[in-house]
Structure 1
């Protein structure tokens, strides 16, 4: 499984990096909208929306919300990203609430209409703000494309570091009821890997040495958020008895299984970057 997981990553990672560094922001935003909506489609499965027509309608509603945000941001002077900024703040607030949800495992764990409504709302609050945050980071000047790559590589490195350190040294369970395989040792391994990559990446993106403490703070917060995102998706899977969100990516599960941490980390990184000014 580790070999398959690594091979899949080796194929997908260069494509993602090339898209981030080479595409202009409007094209990247359009491409990632497709990817994020594909992840949302899998989210609907975890929310027990089994009917294809219902899933399609819900997906179109979220697509229209994305289109509305883009349309409302246009102006005669080239546009404003205020709505994207507001959506990013909403995303950060949502993930703080999601952290509280993790403490109450049984909340919305039944299979009635009210539980589905909570989880469907959660899907929109996770996906749309993350997409807006991605656009904000990539559109930022200077070197927004590099900063977006840093934000994503931090999550990838933290995830890989947690996986390998947890497998080798993990003993203390991080959240045994939600995700039995995650360990405290893996968490610290992921923090170390993500922080190292984040500092190196920040220099690549043009940060000054004096800005590195601020970058380190936001990287740690973004990694913490990514852990919440990962655990929250695990919570959804536990509620419905699913191992993966789908079987689309060999060794990795579904698209949502690769996006869960990213969805939570991007709004935190975008807000922190804007707040601390690096």
Structure 2
């Protein structure tokens, strides 16, 4: 299993590096849309659509929705904040669903509802990535969101192993603890301070207010990234499956790798717009 995880990571890492740092905007849009479409094929299974034709149909629906969104936002850029706002609002609703679980499943147990929730995850993710890609120093911003997610995961792992007695969401993900949550939060705060210091020195001088805004956005993004993982775990637990698919040997499916990013990216992008925060070109 470990060998499979390493080999898969060695293949995926260069693909992500090329996608983030070297693809022009249009090709990057297709790259992220491809990831979202594969994720949609997996989400269809999580939603309860087991036949391959129905999963492919759902993936096509998501791809078409992304294409329509791209065409619409190209003409009506002012609606970007509404797309991202709706995506952020979904995670507020998702928090309530996770908190109630295993109760409250009657609200979302129907397959069409779970399919609709997939759109709430995948479309804002794509829109968020595209917003980041159009910003000055876009690669730095995308990598920073990844560092928030990885910092949260890494801090949670070590703190959880050391002090993880009190469970964060025992009915959803028994392995997660409150100690892990606070450890992840502390780690992301350190990441944010290092990132701000590096940006201030080498990219764009930052005022104290800008650093504080960055810290606030980071905290919210980190919390939502944890929620993204919990939501997928809840859906898989309800469905009775361990992984979203077996596409990535040793890692499960694409959704199993991007669940936290799918939550973090639109939220980070939304609050960038709300606070009018960004890096100067």
TM-score by length of 2: 0.88
Contact 1:230 1:261 in 2 (8 A): yes
Q: Which moved more, 1:6-15 or 1:83-92?
A: 6-15
Q: 1:165 aligns with which of 142, 159, 168?
A: 159
Instruction: Structure 2 unaligned segments of length 5 or more: list them.
Output: none
Q: 1:262 to 1:59 in 2, by over 3 A?
A: same
Partner of 2:118 in structure 1?
123
1:154 deviation in Å? 1.2
User: Distance between the aligned counterparts of 2:33 and 2:215, measured in 1?
Assistant: 29
Aligned length: 272
Partner of 1:254 in structure 2?
253
- Once the two structures are superposed, the pairs formed by residues 127-206 of structure 1 within 5 Å of their partners are 127-140=122-135, 142-202=136-196, 203-204=198-199, 206=204
Following TM superposition, the consecutive aligned residue runs of length 4 or more in structure 1 with deviations greater than 6 angstroms are none
1:102 deviation in Å? 1.0
Q: 1:188 to 1:3 in 2, by over 3 A?
A: farther
Q: RMSD of aligned C-alpha atoms?
A: 2.3
Instruction: Structure 1 unaligned segments of length 5 or more: list them.
Output: none
1:109 deviation in Å? 4.1
Say yes or no: does 1:98 pair with 2:97. Answer: no
1:197 deviation in Å? 2.1
User: Distance between the aligned counterparts of 2:252 and 2:108, measured in 1?
Assistant: 27
1:131 deviation in Å? 0.7
Query: Tell me, what secondary structure is at the counterpart of 2:110?
Result: helix
1:207 deviation in Å? 5.9
Partner of 1:65 in structure 2?
65
- Once the two structures are superposed, the pairs formed by residues 213-224 of structure 1 within 5 Å of their partners are 213-224=212-223
Contact 2:42 2:55 in 1 (8 A): no
Deviations 1:40-59 (A, max 9, x none): 21111111101111222221
